[in-house]
Amino acid sequence: MRDIEDLTKSNKKYKDALVQNRFKSKKNIVAYVILNNKPRVLKWFVPGLKRQMKTEYDIIKKGSSKLNIPIIHEIDEKNNVLIMNYIIGENLCDIINNKNVTISEKQRLIILLAQWFFDFHNHFKTKEKFLIHGDPTLRNFIFTDRIWGLDFEETRTGKPVEDIAGMCASILTTEPMFNSEKFQLCKKFYEKYLNLAPGRINNVDNEISFSLLQKIQWRPNDEEILRKYSKLIRKKGTKNF
Ligand SMILES: Nc1ncnc2c1ncn2[C@@H]1O[C@H](COP(=O)(O)OP(=O)(O)O)[C@@H](O)[C@H]1O
Ligand SMILES: [Mg+2]
């Protein structure tokens, strides 16, 4: 497997990078490094994902002065690397799934998360279309004193409800999956968004049901439970859990 050392050892540009920590990542290599005495995140894209790197770069450039997202320090097109600031906080996925964090604190964060999406959608919307984050999972968010969004490789034109339902599916399907607390947080999340942007999203339950099915391709071992809840939510809606 490719590792961050393959980049730092073979490349003069990164030879002084001190690797502190490697993050969980599905596709790319993402690490916290000290570079020229500064804390940085280095995101090394797999060779086939150059287009995604450019998308992420463009979105961050256009959004970082207004939105809670990182700042890009450098794009290295030769090596497929983005260098951004390191946001020191806790991954939202770990907080939401921590049984020692109170439900009221989780609800507070989920409301901030809905506000983050509202700000993101507003920032990039034009008369004709919306841009959506495109990979709305809890792991792509960090909490410091506020919520920060990351990972804009999949950002594209789309319907805001895709982000909102996708995030609901992420809330419901991270361990512990589908318990009553998760349903509560899921409802809190989309209700807050509905409240901020009345009329902007419709048929949320159907979209959540669809998002759950879409997850099967990444999580074949959970196919049965994903199908089961997809069907239940389509029939009864999330309100009845
Ligand atoms: N700027 C950053 N500050 C702090 N942590 C980050 C930053 N960028 C990424 N991470 C961490 O690295 C993980 C993977 O990065 P991400 O951009 O989501 O890559 P991937 O596209 O491979 O999922 C994130 O889930 C997050 O925990
Ligand atoms: Mg990610």
Ramachandran quadrant class, 83 (left: phi over 0; alpha: psi -120 to 50; beta: rest): beta
Whether 148 lines ligand 1, by a CB cut-off of 6 Å, is no
CATH of 90-240, one of 3.30.310, 1.10.510, 1.10.3470, 2.60.40: 1.10.510
User: Residue 3's pLDDT is what?
Assistant: 87
- 3-state class of 76 per DSSP? strand
- 3-state class of 142 per DSSP? strand
Class of domain 4-85: alpha beta
User: Residue 196's pLDDT is what?
Assistant: 98
> Could you list the mean pLDDT of each consecutive 10-residue stretch along the chain, which spans 241 residues?
84 92 89 95 93 97 98 96 97 98 98 98 98 98 98 98 98 98 98 98 98 97 98 96 92
Residue-range domain boundaries for the chain: 4-85, 90-240
Nearest ligand to the C-alpha of residue 72? 1
User: Residue 10's pLDDT is what?
Assistant: 86
User: Residue 28's pLDDT is what?
Assistant: 92
Distance CA 67, CA 194 (A): 20
User: Residue 14's pLDDT is what?
Assistant: 92
Distance CA 142, CA 1 (A): 27
Q: What is the pLDDT of residues 68-84, one digit of tens each?
A: 999 999 999 999 999 99
Nearest ligand to the C-alpha of residue 149? 1
Q: What are phi and psi of 226, to 5 degrees?
A: -65, -45
- Distance in Å, CA 139 to ligand 2 centroid: 6
Whether 88 lines ligand 1, by a CB cut-off of 6 Å, is no
